């Protein structure tokens, strides 16, 4: 409750006029001391506007620091001075802030008085927005006072005012308030109308923060109205919204209604949960009430002080008017002094501003570093996801290859043996055409299984290593219609790469060879693997038609190569010239 209250204050305070620039900029550094000094100066020089603004600023700072009492003290002081200055706008705005203190301390009568006074003032000024917020406040106060007709009057008044202002957010709040009022007076139809209006407005402006409460109200009112089916729908929708947004704002008294409604709708578990929340909130509210009782005493004390002070100050004001002529000479000399002080202040401000900007630079740099870290983390995550995807793919290929090779391959070989042993028993079978044909087909099937399994994952790769597997691969590109492949490797004779690296490199080179043969129509391909202390360098060069890397990037093959290079945290460099050939170099750290 207090947080809401402070935020309201913070919104209203900038409306105060004559905010001093210097004051504002110094507020950042040593706010309280500086402002107090300003106030003292103002009092000494009878510069009451300076004093009033000073107190106003001081109260804001204390609000920010959560020093409630000090804030209140400063606020009342500023109101006094604005009163003396006949600055009605600031005077009433200050009073409106004070109202919240009074409400907090349950001083409804005083709050009403101030609000009504302010309302008259803003009516004369024809400030509709201010009138609206005061009317709304008044309706709330009358509600607390249980003055039903007055509450409805101001609620209606607020709605009317908002008809011309058309503040949708305000409209939503007012309709909720109206629905509550109607509900309290058993006019469920009107209550439903109001709450539907609020719901529609919320949806139109996409304002979700109220939806939870609105749905609850819709549910509660529908239930009271006897529309249990509708009630159930909205209650559950609200409930899931509430569970989703743990900070959804719900009026504390609503929890009881929600609990009751759930009970009526035969959902005792939920009813119990909301009753619990209600009791919990009630507890903390009771604690708050005790604190408020103390506050009440403080506020009353302040009020009396204020009255006394006003008398004092009014006398002072008369004095000042007499003295002011005498003071004009002194003022000139003071002016010179003030200018000197201002110059000094200017220098101090500049000094601090420089410090602030230095701090800001550091902050910006820190933020940049943090941002970079986040980007790095995201990239790592991407790489990890890709890695597990590729690893999964390879594991699956390995499994299928092994299954094909061991099970199906073995089975086919056995069938072949059994099939032939039939021939030994039936001597003339060798002469039957169909038998021989089937025998040949069996051989083909064996060959096919071998090929598929080998394409899935070459057996030589894991058993004998990358170089033998690559040699096997290149042996398959053998014949007149295939390009010449020159394969060189250095530093890998005695060195076994880990399986993953070997597998990935195999796939990369396989893909590059495919590209050179299929797309580049190369006559010669050069493949080279070099291992030194810290990396493996893969070079694949062809004399094919070349390509434009920008357009080719979309091809699946290139994509596969890229992700595998990334998997190995390596670096890929492609250099291609149209009609001259492509040269690919990949550096993989070890």
Q: Residue numbers of the site for another protein (CB under 8 A)?
A: 405-406, 409-414, 416-418, 420-421, 423-424, 439, 442-443, 446-447, 449-450, 453-454, 458-460, 463-464, 467-469, 471-472, 474-475, 478, 485-491, 526, 528, 530, 532, 537, 539, 541, 543, 571, 573, 575, 581, 583, 585, 587
In a 10 Å sphere around its CB, with 0-12 CB exposed, 13-18 middle and 19+ buried, how is residue 339 labelled?
A: exposed
Cα gap 218→238, rounded to integer Å:
9
- The least distance separating another protein from the CB of residue 372, rounded to whole angstroms, comes to 22
Of 79 and 527, CB closest to another protein: 527
Of 100 and 543, CB closest to another protein: 543
Of 309 and 585, CB closest to another protein: 585
- The least distance separating another protein from the CB of residue 426, rounded to whole angstroms, comes to 13
Of 237 and 471, CB closest to another protein: 471
- What letter does residue 64 receive in the DSSP assignment? H
- The least distance separating another protein from the CB of residue 561, rounded to whole angstroms, comes to 16
- The least distance separating another protein from the CB of residue 347, rounded to whole angstroms, comes to 50
Of 375 and 577, CB closest to another protein: 577
Which residue in the block uniquely carries the two structure tokens 């009026």? 251
Cα gap 245→209, rounded to integer Å:
9
- The least distance separating another protein from the CB of residue 394, rounded to whole angstroms, comes to 19
- The least distance separating another protein from the CB of residue 210, rounded to whole angstroms, comes to 57
Q: Find out whether 586 and 538 touch, Cβ atoms under 8 Å.
A: yes
The C-alpha R_g of the chain, in whole angstroms, comes to 42
Of 348 and 411, CB closest to another protein: 411
Q: Which token pair is 408?
A: 């199906």
Q: Find out whether 589 and 570 touch, Cβ atoms under 8 Å.
A: yes
Of 40 and 571, CB closest to another protein: 571
Q: Find out whether 100 and 5 touch, Cβ atoms under 8 Å.
A: yes
Q: Find out whether 557 and 511 touch, Cβ atoms under 8 Å.
A: yes
Angle between helices 433-456 and 268-403 in degrees, nearest 10: 120
- The least distance separating another protein from the CB of residue 572, rounded to whole angstroms, comes to 10
Strand partners, 577: 581
Cα gap 437→454, rounded to integer Å:
26
Of 247 and 424, CB closest to another protein: 424
Of 189 and 486, CB closest to another protein: 486
**164 Cβ partners below 8 Å, 6+ apart?**
128
- The least distance separating another protein from the CB of residue 568, rounded to whole angstroms, comes to 15
Cα gap 117→149, rounded to integer Å:
20
Tell which residue, 528, 524, 538, 521, has the closest CA to residue 578.
Answer: 521
- What letter does residue 586 receive in the DSSP assignment? E
- The least distance separating another protein from the CB of residue 373, rounded to whole angstroms, comes to 25
Beta-carbon count within 10 A of 416 CB: 15
Of 224 and 456, CB closest to another protein: 456
- The least distance separating another protein from the CB of residue 362, rounded to whole angstroms, comes to 33
Of 344 and 491, CB closest to another protein: 491
DSSP string, 263-325: HHTT-HHHHHHHHHHHHHHHHHHHHHHHHHHHHHHHHHHHHHHHHHHHHHHHHHHHHHHHHHH
SS (HEC) of 521-580? CCCEEEEEEEECCCEEEEEEEECCCCCCHHHHCCCHHHHHHHHHHHHCCCEEEEEEECCC
- The least distance separating another protein from the CB of residue 437, rounded to whole angstroms, comes to 14
Which residue in the block uniquely carries the two structure tokens 């009342």? 76
Of 419 and 519, CB closest to another protein: 419
Of 290 and 534, CB closest to another protein: 534
Beta-carbon count within 10 A of 316 CB: 16
Q: Find out whether 185 and 191 touch, Cβ atoms under 8 Å.
A: no
**Cβ burial 476-496 (10 Å sphere, 16+ → b, else e):** ebeeeeebebeeebeebeeee
Cα gap 218→330, rounded to integer Å:
70
- The least distance separating another protein from the CB of residue 583, rounded to whole angstroms, comes to 5
Beta-carbon count within 10 A of 263 CB: 16
- The least distance separating another protein from the CB of residue 172, rounded to whole angstroms, comes to 60
Of 208 and 571, CB closest to another protein: 571
Q: Which token pair is 257?
A: 């209604």
- The least distance separating another protein from the CB of residue 562, rounded to whole angstroms, comes to 16
Q: Which token pair is 129?
A: 């927005």
């Amino acid at each position: 409750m207090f947080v809401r209250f402070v935020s309201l204050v913070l919104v209203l305070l900038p409306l105060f006029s004559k905010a001093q620039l210097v004051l504002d900029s110094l507020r950042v550094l040593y706010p309280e001391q500086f402002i107090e000094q300003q106030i003292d100066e103002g009092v000494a020089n009878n510069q009451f506007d300076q004093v009033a603004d000073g107190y106003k600023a001081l109260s804001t700072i204390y609000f920010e620091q959560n020093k409630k009492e000090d804030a209140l003290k400063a606020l009342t002081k500023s109101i006094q001075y604005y009163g003396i200055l006949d600055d009605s706008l600031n005077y009433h705005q200050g009073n409106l802030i004070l109202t919240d203190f009074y409400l907090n301390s349950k001083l409804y009568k005083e709050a009403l008085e101030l609000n009504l006074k302010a309302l008259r003032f803003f009516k004369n000024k024809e400030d509709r927005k201010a009138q609206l917020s005061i009317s709304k406040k008044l309706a709330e106060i009358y509600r607390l006072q249980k003055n039903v007709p007055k509450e409805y009057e101001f609620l209606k008044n607020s709605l009317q005012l908002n008809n011309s202002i058309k503040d949708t957010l305000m409209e939503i709040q007012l309709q909720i308030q109206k629905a509550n009022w109607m509900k309290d007076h058993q006019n469920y139809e009107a209550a439903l109308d109001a709450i539907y209006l609020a719901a529609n407005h919320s949806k139109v402006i996409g304002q979700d923060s109220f939806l939870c409460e609105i749905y609850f109200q819709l549910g509660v009112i529908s239930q009271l109205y006897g529309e249990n089916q509708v009630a159930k729908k909205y209650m559950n929708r609200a409930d899931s919204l509430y569970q989703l947004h743990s900070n959804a704002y719900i009026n504390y008294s609503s929890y009881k209604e929600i609990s009751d409604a759930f009970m009526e709708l035969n959902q005792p578990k939920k009813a119990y949960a909301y009753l619990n929340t209600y009791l919990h909130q009630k507890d903390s509210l009771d604690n708050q009430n005790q604190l408020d009782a103390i506050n009440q005493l403080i506020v009353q004390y302040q009020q009396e002080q204020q009255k006394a002070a006003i008398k004092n100050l009014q006398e002072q004001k008369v004095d000042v008017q007499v003295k002011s002529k005498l003071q004009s000479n002194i003022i000139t000399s003071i002016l010179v002094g003030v200018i000197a002080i201002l110059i000094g202040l200017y220098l101090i401000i500049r000094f601090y501003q420089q410090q602030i900007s230095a701090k800001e630079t550091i902050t910006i740099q820190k933020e940049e570093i943090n941002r970079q870290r986040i980007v790095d983390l995201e990239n790592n995550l991407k790489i990890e996801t890709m890695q597990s995807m590729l690893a999964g793919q390879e594991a699956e290929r390995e499994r299928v290859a092994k299954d094909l090779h061991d099970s199906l391959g073995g089975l086919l070989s056995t069938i072949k043996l059994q099939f032939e042993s039939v021939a030994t028993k039936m001597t003339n079978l060798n002469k039957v055409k169909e038998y021989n044909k089937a025998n040949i087909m069996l051989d083909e099937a064996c060959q096919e299984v071998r090929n598929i399994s080998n394409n899935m994952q070459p057996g030589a790769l894991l058993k004998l290593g990358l170089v033998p597997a690559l040699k096997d691969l290149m042996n398959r590109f053998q014949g007149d219609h295939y390009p010449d492949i020159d394969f060189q490797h250095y530093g890998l004779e005695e060195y076994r790469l880990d399986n993953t690296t070997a597998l990935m490199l195999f796939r990369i080179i396989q893909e590059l060879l495919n590209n050179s043969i299929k797309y580049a129509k190369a006559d010669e391909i050069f493949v080279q693997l070099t291992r030194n202390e810290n990396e493996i360098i893969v070079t694949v060069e062809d004399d094919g038609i070349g390509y434009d890397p920008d357009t080719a990037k979309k091809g699946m093959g290139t994509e596969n190569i890229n992700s595998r290079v990334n998997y190995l945290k390596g670096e890929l460099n492609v250099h291609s010239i149209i009609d001259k050939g492509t040269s690919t170099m990949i550096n993989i750290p070890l």
